[in-house]
Structure 1
Amino acid sequence: MLLKVGQNSVSGADKKSYGAAYAAAGATLGTVAGALAALVFLILLFCVFRKGFKKQMKHDTEHRTESGKHIAKVLLFTIAPVILSATVYNISNLLDQAVFTNAMAAQGMPKKEYTELLGMFSGQYDTITNIPLSVASALAASFMPSLVATIQTGSRKEIHNKIDLVSRFNMIIAIPCAAAFITLGKPILDLLYFTQDNTIPAMLLKIGGISVVFFCLSTVTNAALQGMDHMSQPVKNAAISLVIHLVALYIMLVAFHWNIYSIVASKIIFAAAICVLNDRDLRKCSGYVQEYRKTFIIPGISAIIMSIVALGVHLVFELFAGPHIATVIAVLVAIAVYFVALILLKGVTEAEIKTLPMGTKIVGLFKKLHLLR
């Protein structure tokens, strides 16, 4: 709608650029509207539960009231490291673009060409890979309060179980997404961006699909460290990883001449470095050791089975139903095959499924299908 408003606001040569500018403003406004809607919803929840809060306060044996200044200070020192961590993640994209454009200009690549490559990276590749990352962020945010509550009990085993559970559910989502990007990247992009040539973005997905696993895992480990009151560690680790990432990017661009593929490859190094550093800090502060069999190996095997079946289904249906319908069917079959394989390989238990939203109904469905006993 705003695209049309922008185009109609001027005439002549500026019509196209104004339309694009208004559309981009609309996309940004959508993010603001989403955050505002969430805030309004939380305010409504607060109003609904306010009477209950007041009753709890009357029965509270602790009569000391914390000042607004103290609460604001606690909130600031809690929020600031989280924002700084997110800033380091986001600033890496700006630095990547700056390093990439300067390196390509120095190597004599025309501006139009390297701008188009950056557009493919941020438009198709980044947009697609951010979908599983948004799920990981939501899981991490919901995980922090329960982790903090568990820490109050002082049970190290319970803390480890919490981190394990969230890591596993994150990997159950991230690993098949990465496998889908690697094996079905081109068909998925052709379905979503059917007016564009997706050859280069598809190759970016093939190379960088694995980074989804590392970024999702780093999101969980960040939340775990912050939940255990080690607020500054994720910021330090992200900053160290950013330096490693930029050095790797420069070497790949200047020494290996990998152009746009350098950004994707260095992103993998960035995310992997954060995971390694966070894992080290988790061991130091809580003695936590990452579980591998149920977290990585079983989802990985399930994702391989899923990929093979999905590729076969896509090839068969593409012959008589066309590429787009074949992609939709292949993705739906892939989801079903992955979860069946995951359950049969005992990657998740009935009790763990029940902890998910609508978990009891899912368990009931799986029992009817004889996937669970």
Structure 2
Amino acid sequence: MGNGSKNKDYLVQGTILVIASFVARVIGMIYRIPLTRILGHQGNTYYSTANEIYAIILMISSFSLPLAVSKLVSERLHKGQKKNAHKVFVCAMKFGLVAGGIMSLLTLALSGVITKFMKFEMAAYALRVLSPAIFIYAVVGVLRGFFQGHETMVPTAVSQVIEQIVNAVVSVGGAALLIGYGTELGREKGNDSLGPAFGAAGGTLGTVVSVTVALLFLLFIYVSYQRSFRRQMRRDHTKRLESDQVIYRALIATILPVILSTVIYNISTIIDQGIFGGIMTGQGYSEKEYSTVWGIFVEFKVLMNVPLSIASCLAPSVVPSLTASMTDEDYRAAGIKVRDSIRYTMVFTIPCAVGLAALASPVMQLVYGDSSALAAGIMQSGALMIVLYALSTLTTGILQGLGEMQKPLIHSAIALVFHIIVLVLMLNFSGMNIYSVVYANIFFAFVICVLNAWAINRAIGYHQELRRTFIIPILVSGIMGLAAYGTYRLFTLFAGVLFPAVLAVLVGAVVYVALLVKMRGITERELRGMPKGNYLVYILQRLRIL
């Protein structure tokens, strides 16, 4: 465990997952461009509402399975218990099939009730289409967790990319096909919301098909490695095999805190939407008016998910590694992993957030064709939200890897209470409309970050390094943002939006990397420790940056 390369394996595996997730998020962002234009703001709101409800149901039924399986498999493999590790997989699969099946049927039956409560009743069509994906994802989650427990993120990474490609094609095709049918039906029934509602349902069909394809791919990988798994288990001379009851208890003990903390952490979006819709209705806005504004906020959240992919991928990759360190009671190694994962995330997330703020208007124009001041304003106001959500997501995963399963639940619950109070007060008294939702979310993530930092310190005596993790990246990102914005404004005098925006991104990237290296925000040794680090160092040396 003292081996330096081993200590960096989780970063390499995390980077593989980050790259794949980044590619998947970019594909997701790209296909949302035609999808949004097909659906319009109203249809996009129905589509997003159904997906947010689907995400919450997944969190309750099976979203926690990859992390739980990964943690339990990793613990047993670290002790050399190959048979018990595989038994965890079998029990988790049974659990996932039952939980996923029940939640899938309940979603199908109660979709109308749920969306009516959310004040977006027409989203029920899309939610019904999504219901089978809940069952399928449970199986996918167990398979991904099993591979992650073996400290390989490649099957998860590849399946995510395949999933997103299929999703892109089927979603756009399904939306285009069904929105026409819904529009015609709406004319007959005198309901002009049926077109956007059916279009949203067609869009969600992509999720069902893509998760099915991802499942087939993971099953193929699992079957391909059956001989290797059996050979490993034959070499395992563990005298005492765990009973099914012991494994189920361990699964539930791991899953329940993760489910509850994840639900509370993510349910804020559903609560925000309900509160926002209710208060806007009370202030005299129609559903079409406030759903259109909410749709613009959703556009920002889709873009926000691209830089957030770094934290959301690094968190599961660091869990098995931290679990191994805590099993050995090696708190020094655990502290190094915490430090490196937080630095890694901040060095990439902070410039992404600043870059999106600096180029808010051109990005929204290019991605969504939205040149409104509101779209750019939400992007600029939400930059800090991106950084804080990335940090809170990562530190939640770190606490779970440290075995502090209850802490994220408590912290999310405390933050949610304050979040709701702040949101209601701002919506009623500030007059800031949708910006109230942005600022309330910033406060929510900030509270979790503070509480998580305190808990990590209590668990392993860790104090976060500030200068190279936060101060230098923030300072360098500020200069980068000014350079990117200046480049964009200069070249818009001679061209449209696309060329100046692309050039501004390239200039910003070069400025950020050059200054980060010059100010020793990242060292040559750290660069070499990254995937393809030696090649990166060679390029920087050739450019005389390093």
1:295 aligns with 2:431: no
The offset of 1:333, in angstroms, is 2.0
Kindly provide the CA deviation profile for residues 129-157 of structure 1, in whole angstroms up to 9, marking residues without a partner as x. Answer: 12212231011111111111222232222
Match of 1:83 among 242, 247, 259: 259
Match of 1:3 among 168, 172, 175: 175
User: How many angstroms apart in 2 are the aligned matches of 1:313 and 1:266?
Assistant: 33
- Taking only aligned residues, the RMSD between alpha carbons, in angstroms, comes to 2.2
Kindly provide the CA deviation profile for residues 165-187 of structure 1, in whole angstroms up to 9, marking residues without a partner as x. Answer: 11111111210121112211111
Identity, % of aligned pairs? 38
Partner in structure 1 of residue 504 of structure 2: 330
Partner in structure 2 of residue 313 of structure 1: 487
Partner in structure 1 of residue 446 of structure 2: 272
Match of 1:12 among 184, 201, 206: 184
Q: Which has the higher contact order (CA 8 A, sep 6+)?
A: 2
SS in structure 2 at match of 1:210? helix
Does the CA contact (< 8 Å) of 1:178 and 1:210 recur in 2?
yes
Q: Given the superposition, is the C-alpha separation of residues 107 and 20 from structure 1 closer, same or farther in structure 2, using an over 3 Å criterion? A: closer
User: How many angstroms apart in 1 are the aligned matches of 2:203 and 2:472?
Assistant: 38
Partner in structure 1 of residue 514 of structure 2: 340
User: How many angstroms apart in 2 are the aligned matches of 1:357 and 1:36?
Assistant: 31
* Matching residue's letter, 2:329: G
Does the CA contact (< 8 Å) of 2:396 and 2:452 recur in 1?
yes
Does the CA contact (< 8 Å) of 1:6 and 1:18 recur in 2?
no
Partner in structure 1 of residue 86 of structure 2: none
User: How many angstroms apart in 1 are the aligned matches of 2:208 and 2:337?
Assistant: 32
Partner in structure 2 of residue 165 of structure 1: 340
Partner in structure 2 of residue 143 of structure 1: 318
Match of 2:457 among 256, 271, 283: 283
User: How many angstroms apart in 2 are the aligned matches of 1:355 and 1:17?
Assistant: 54
Q: How does 1:44-63 map to 2 (within 5 A)?
A: 44-63=220-239
The offset of 1:293, in angstroms, is 1.0
SS in structure 2 at match of 1:151? helix
Kindly provide the CA deviation profile for residues 329-366 of structure 1, in whole angstroms up to 9, marking residues without a partner as x. Answer: 21122222212221222122233334433333323322
Q: Given the superposition, is the C-alpha separation of residues 22 and 206 from structure 1 closer, same or farther in structure 2, using an over 3 Å criterion? A: same
Q: How does 1:21-32 map to 2 (within 5 A)?
A: 21-32=197-208
Q: Given the superposition, is the C-alpha separation of residues 355 and 84 from structure 1 closer, same or farther in structure 2, using an over 3 Å criterion? A: farther
Partner in structure 2 of residue 214 of structure 1: 388
Does the CA contact (< 8 Å) of 1:4 and 1:19 recur in 2?
no
SS in structure 1 at match of 2:404? coil
User: How many angstroms apart in 2 are the aligned matches of 1:318 and 1:40?
Assistant: 48
SS in structure 1 at match of 2:432? coil
Does the CA contact (< 8 Å) of 2:528 and 2:537 recur in 1?
yes
Of residues 357-366 and 332-341 in structure 1, the stretch that sits farther from structure 2 once superposed is: 357-366
User: How many angstroms apart in 1 are the aligned matches of 2:206 and 2:415?
Assistant: 31
Q: How does 1:134-283 map to 2 (within 5 A)?
A: 134-194=309-369, 196-283=370-457
Partner in structure 2 of residue 67 of structure 1: 243
User: How many angstroms apart in 1 are the aligned matches of 2:499 and 2:436?
Assistant: 33
* Matching residue's letter, 1:214: L
Aligned pairs, how many? 370
User: How many angstroms apart in 2 are the aligned matches of 1:281 and 1:11?
Assistant: 53
Q: TM-score, normalised by structure 2?
A: 0.63
* Matching residue's letter, 2:315: A
* Matching residue's letter, 2:362: P
Q: Given the superposition, is the C-alpha separation of residues 291 and 144 from structure 1 closer, same or farther in structure 2, using an over 3 Å criterion? A: same
* Matching residue's letter, 1:140: A
* Matching residue's letter, 1:50: Q
Of residues 145-154 and 236-245 in structure 1, the stretch that sits farther from structure 2 once superposed is: 145-154
The offset of 1:19, in angstroms, is 5.0
Q: Given the superposition, is the C-alpha separation of residues 158 and 202 from structure 1 closer, same or farther in structure 2, using an over 3 Å criterion? A: same
Does the CA contact (< 8 Å) of 1:2 and 1:22 recur in 2?
no
User: How many angstroms apart in 1 are the aligned matches of 2:519 and 2:235?
Assistant: 50
Q: Given the superposition, is the C-alpha separation of residues 264 and 7 from structure 1 closer, same or farther in structure 2, using an over 3 Å criterion? A: closer
User: How many angstroms apart in 1 are the aligned matches of 2:203 and 2:306?
Assistant: 16
Does the CA contact (< 8 Å) of 2:179 and 2:202 recur in 1?
no
The offset of 1:220, in angstroms, is 1.1
User: How many angstroms apart in 2 are the aligned matches of 1:86 and 1:27?
Assistant: 25
Kindly provide the CA deviation profile for residues 63-91 of structure 1, in whole angstroms up to 9, marking residues without a partner as x. Answer: 32223443343233323332322222331
SS in structure 2 at match of 1:319? coil
Does the CA contact (< 8 Å) of 2:179 and 2:197 recur in 1?
no
The offset of 1:32, in angstroms, is 4.2
* Matching residue's letter, 2:186: D
Partner in structure 1 of residue 289 of structure 2: 113
Match of 1:304 among 478, 487, 490: 478
* Matching residue's letter, 1:233: K
* Matching residue's letter, 1:299: P
SS in structure 2 at match of 1:357? coil
Does the CA contact (< 8 Å) of 1:3 and 1:19 recur in 2?
no
Does the CA contact (< 8 Å) of 2:315 and 2:393 recur in 1?
yes
* Matching residue's letter, 2:359: L
Q: Where in structure 2 are there 5+ consecutive unaligned residues?
A: 1-172
User: How many angstroms apart in 2 are the aligned matches of 1:250 and 1:8?
Assistant: 38
Q: TM-score, normalised by structure 1?
A: 0.91
Does the CA contact (< 8 Å) of 1:81 and 1:235 recur in 2?
yes
Of residues 60-69 and 292-301 in structure 1, the stretch that sits farther from structure 2 once superposed is: 60-69
* Matching residue's letter, 1:162: K
* Matching residue's letter, 1:274: I
User: How many angstroms apart in 1 are the aligned matches of 2:388 and 2:463?
Assistant: 17
Does the CA contact (< 8 Å) of 2:456 and 2:462 recur in 1?
yes
Does the CA contact (< 8 Å) of 2:395 and 2:449 recur in 1?
yes
Q: Structure 1: which 4+ aligned runs deviate by more than 6 Å?
A: none
SS in structure 1 at match of 2:493? helix
SS in structure 2 at match of 1:141? helix
User: How many angstroms apart in 2 are the aligned matches of 1:38 and 1:222?
Assistant: 27
